Amino acid sequence: MGFGKNRVVITGGAGFIGSHLCVKFLNDGWEVVAVDTFHTGQKNNIEPLMKNPRFEILRHDIVEPLRCEGDLILNFACPASPVHYQSNPIWTMKTNVLGTMNMLGLAKRTKARILQASTSEVYGDPHQHPQTEAYWGNVNPIGIRSCYDEGKRAAETLCFDYHRAHGVDIRVVRIFNTYGPNMAIDDGRVVSNFIVQAIRGDDLTMFGDGKQTRSFCYVDDLVDGIFRFAHTDGATGPLNLGNDDEFTMLELAELVVAKVGSKSKVKFAPLPSDDPKQRRPDLTLTKSILKGWAPKVKLAEGLEKSIPYFREASKRSLLKH
């Protein structure tokens, strides 16, 4: 690839996926500039990197223009769990629209390649299953999730308009449910919720009847896919990234309780508005473009790798309170 191992700017670099990307690029010899507001990003996630001379952190909100240079930009700045993105929906939309415009403007000025983190939420509550990249989705434009769902759809639009109008070198990835170390324990996502509740011996909160499905990707597999796509010439995406093994929420709950060794039961609650009933990526296009990439970590193994992190994070949380 043209730019070699120089400098990568990772917005949302203290977040769950962003912090893993920082490690991946540092290990590959890059200089890494992480940009974060620390609104949902965690200092614990990047603390081990602070002694590395090739790593720096900027506290900055990309809703404001960023003056920084890099050969590659990874735009991962946005709250990604319903609890967080709904807590300030207007800021979420600004991050997706104004923030993405600012990062695309930076890529245009510096002639950097930019990889935009989109989401499977662009498919909404899908009428097509599994979801291919050609599917336009079924999204409520005025619902409580719209700041994120429609915000990410608008971010994709901006990427392709900057690509067509200004020749910006874009990559768009649609990320499906991902889990692993460095997740915030209070982010309200189902894997972190279930693990933390099981560790504490609380009942697992099951929204709806538990028959809705998701596909869960371990973070290392996702980061490997992102890294490969960032280095791939001649393909803009959008590209699905995730794991195509599909589980019901009840199956996930059962597996978490078994792996934690908990006696937790399941308690049912109403399904939130616009919550998708099923979600699984079609990875045909992804595997044809990212030669040799496929999700390797099965859910049972990924949970075993993740649970020790959640035990430690839960202890830290209790000490704070």
> Active-site residue among 85, 123, 135, 148?
148
Which two structure tokens, joined as six digits, stand for 205?
């909160």
Of 192, 211, 216, 204, the C-alpha closest to 277 is 211
φ/ψ of 113, rounded to 5, equals: -80, 140
Active-site residue 148, yes or no? yes
Q: Tell me the C-alpha distance between 96 and 118, whole Å.
A: 10
In b/e form, how buried is each residue of 233-247, taking b as 16+ CB within 10 angstroms? Answer: eeeebbbbbbbbebb
- With 0-12 / 13-18 / 19 or more C-beta atoms within 10 angstroms meaning exposed / middle / buried, residue 164 is exposed
Tokens 């973070």 sit on residue: 219
Q: Judge contact between 305 and 297, C-beta under 8 A.
A: yes
- Tokens 């170390």 locate to 181
Question: Contact, 161 vs 228, CB < 8 A?
Answer: no
Give catalytic residue positions. 148
